[in-house]
Amino acid sequence: MVILLVRIGGTGFLQGLGVAAGLVELGKSNAMKEGQLQCERLSLHCSDYNVKFTFKDDTPKVLEREQQVTTIGSHVWDTKVQDQKPKVQVLKDMAPFSTLTTDDEREEKAQSRNPGTFVVVANLTSFADLPEYQGEFLGNLHHGTTNSEYEGVNIDPTPLDGGMTDEVNDPNVVILKTFEDPFMRAPATLHDRPRPATVPSLISPASSCRQTSEASFDSSTISLLDAAQRGGKDAELLHYYRTTISPQIIKIGKSQVGEDIFEVQAREYPPLFHAMMALSALSIAQKEGSSNTTAFEHYQQVIPALQTAVQSIEDSYSDGALLTHLLLLFYEIVAQETTMWQCHCDQLLRIVSMRRQACGADHFDFVIWMIFCIDVYALLSASGTGMFAEVVSKQNMLPLPERCLLPETAEQLLVEFPEEQTHFSRIITITQEIFSIALQVGRLAKALRTEVSQERFEGSDDKHKMERSTCIRNLRQQTFDRKMNWRVLFPDYQTWLQTPNNLPPRVLEWVEHSYLLSRVCILYTYTSMYSGQLHDPELDTDAQIKACCAEILHAISIMLSTQRCDLQYAVFPLFLAGFCTQNSTEKNTALRLMAEVEK
């Protein structure tokens, strides 16, 4: 059992929590048996044998990996203050350390003692209640099952008591039964708050999430965004954000006067401003092939600014915090980082869960939908876990169709225009259904790849292969059903594709998105569920691959010819079609279209 040893004392408690005592490794030779002081191999007496210890300090690695961890000011980890004698406070009349039940109480008691006096131990079960470990899909199909649906292994949902176990006799040592995440703790009155019946507008003072974004900063000083607007050092980055970045995120290619939702929040929330500027600087650096030093400087300022901004539990899930981590997610995707984007996705899952618990209906529900889509595509491309999408689906946090729309302006969220109302309810509903199938396809593919890899060493029987084929066919049939429903609902799609002006731009984007993803699901189930799938083709494999590849390439070529700006979800379908097609002309077409998309 691997345990996390946390030393508590003075101001070093919370800082030491992340550093985890440097992870000291202790090794002891077992070459000698008890009571036997003779080396069997060399026939020598070892009466001078001494136990040898090896200490390894992993603190620098932890600090590099976990950017929220700091040792500055810690009497345990900061060498600059270790020689300073900490101020001893008057000991309050508090209960024994082992009986305290919250981090705040333990910290208060620890501040009056020397560092290292009290110890908290967290093991693997301490983290079982965190949302990223709930319902984790382990990806193993059970041999011998006749169920056509794959099965996952869930962590026992029985809630754990927040108290401590009494396995240690030392009154200064406790073992956490439940890890109390400071970003997940909610105030005692959280559940007593009335949930709003209607969605508050962005500028409504009733929005508790919005208020916490503004409460942490002094409005008497000029904001970083206003300074940039007046020609400050970030003026060029702000202009690039408004003219290039913002249209790609929010406005779907429409020209708009005024600030978008990120700018409105960034005026009162410096971490968000730094995230905006980091994303702009990174985009410019990649476009010009120059150094991304400026982007990195702004990125490095986000975390300290967040630490300053978060003064309470409510601050940790404010509007500003949500949008900041969303832009950091975009930053890591653009920077092509392989791991950090998943960290921001996990943090966004925590924030979304806390907002749903505290505020009920969320006026930023469209952000949940954006992250959900990104996570599903990451799962299909085998670069993500799909945890965000899976938890959102299981917890019924997926927004209603009318709440998935991206805002046209910062002041008007969740607005349907008259010309859109006849289309949106149907198209968003069927798009969500297709995404749900895509999530199942990605999860099943992840499980099958693991199984097939194991079978290469352990072997498999025909019965298990038949069960695997049944699972795939069931998902494929669901996709075919949605495809038929789609054609019934939108019989004029080919006309819309050729003459996009016949549909409102936002409606057309949703139509194209669902059209492409349904073809992706079909292609995926025929070609990409596991390594070597094409070695055992089905009767209609070639025909379905040919049809789907042609449809995807045709649709994307028309989208590019009309110079529309909604191409972010065309990249993966284009890649998959180019990979799967056996026609050399279509492969060249896919490469050409991919180059145009990347411009």
Statement to judge: residues 346 and 218 lie in one domain:
yes
> Is pLDDT above 60 for 114?
yes
Statement to judge: residues 133 and 216 lie in one domain:
no
Q: How far apart are the first and last CA of the chain?
A: 51
In a domain, 527, yes or no: yes
Statement to judge: residues 15 and 126 lie in one domain:
yes
Lowest mean pLDDT among 36-40, 167-171, 394-398, 560-564: 36-40
Residues 267, 227: Cα–Cα separation, whole Å: 10
CB burial readout 202-218, b (16+ within 10 A) else e: beeeebbbbebbbebbe
Lowest mean pLDDT among 12-21, 217-226, 359-368: 12-21
| Residues whose CB falls within 8 Å of the CB of residue 367, separated by 6 or more in sequence, listed in order | 322, 323, 326, 352
pLDDT tens, residue by residue, 225-260: 888 878 878 899 999 998 888 888 875 444 455 688
Statement to judge: residues 144 and 98 lie in one domain:
yes
Statement to judge: residues 352 and 427 lie in one domain:
no
Model confidence band, residue 441 (pLDDT cutoffs 50, 70, 90): very high
Lowest mean pLDDT among 61-65, 332-336, 441-445, 548-552: 61-65
Statement to judge: residues 148 and 16 lie in one domain:
yes
Query: Residues 317-323: what's their mean pLDDT?
Result: 92
Query: Residues 189-193: what's their mean pLDDT?
Result: 33
Statement to judge: residues 102 and 226 lie in one domain:
no
Residues 245, 286: Cα–Cα separation, whole Å: 13
Query: Residues 55-82: what's their mean pLDDT?
Result: 74
Closest among 586, 592, 497 to 550, alpha carbons compared: 586
Statement to judge: residues 337 and 435 lie in one domain:
no
| DSSP character at residue 68 | T
What are residue 192's phi and psi, to 5 degrees? -85, -5
Residue count of the chain:
599
In a domain, 403, yes or no: no
In a domain, 78, yes or no: yes
In a domain, 398, yes or no: no
Statement to judge: residues 346 and 453 lie in one domain:
no
Statement to judge: residues 227 and 161 lie in one domain:
no
Statement to judge: residues 348 and 481 lie in one domain:
no
Lowest mean pLDDT among 206-215, 219-228, 447-456: 206-215
The structure's pTM equals 0.64
237 touches 277 (CB < 8 A): yes
In a domain, 147, yes or no: yes
260 touches 251 (CB < 8 A): yes
Domain end among 391, 424, 444: 391
Q: Which domain holds residue 105?
A: 1-29+38-180
> What pLDDT does 47 receive?
55
In a domain, 337, yes or no: yes
Query: CA 589 from chain center: how many Å?
Result: 33
In a domain, 204, yes or no: no
Residues 369, 541: Cα–Cα separation, whole Å: 32
> Is pLDDT above 50 for 462?
yes
> What pLDDT does 278 receive?
94
| Residues whose CB falls within 8 Å of the CB of residue 79, separated by 6 or more in sequence, listed in order | none
> Is pLDDT above 50 for 23?
no
Give 361: exposed, middle or buried? Use CB within 10 Å, 0-12, 13-18, 19+.
Answer: middle
Residues 268, 264: Cα–Cα separation, whole Å: 8
> Is pLDDT above 70 for 466?
yes
251 touches 244 (CB < 8 A): no
Into how many domains does the chain fold? 3
Query: Residues 442-450: what's their mean pLDDT?
Result: 91
CB burial readout 224-260, b (16+ within 10 A) else e: bbebbbeeeebebbbebbbeebbbebbbbeeeeeebb
pLDDT tens, residue by residue, 39-57: 555 555 555 555 556 667 7
Residues 63, 69: Cα–Cα separation, whole Å: 6
Statement to judge: residues 137 and 18 lie in one domain:
yes
In a domain, 206, yes or no: no
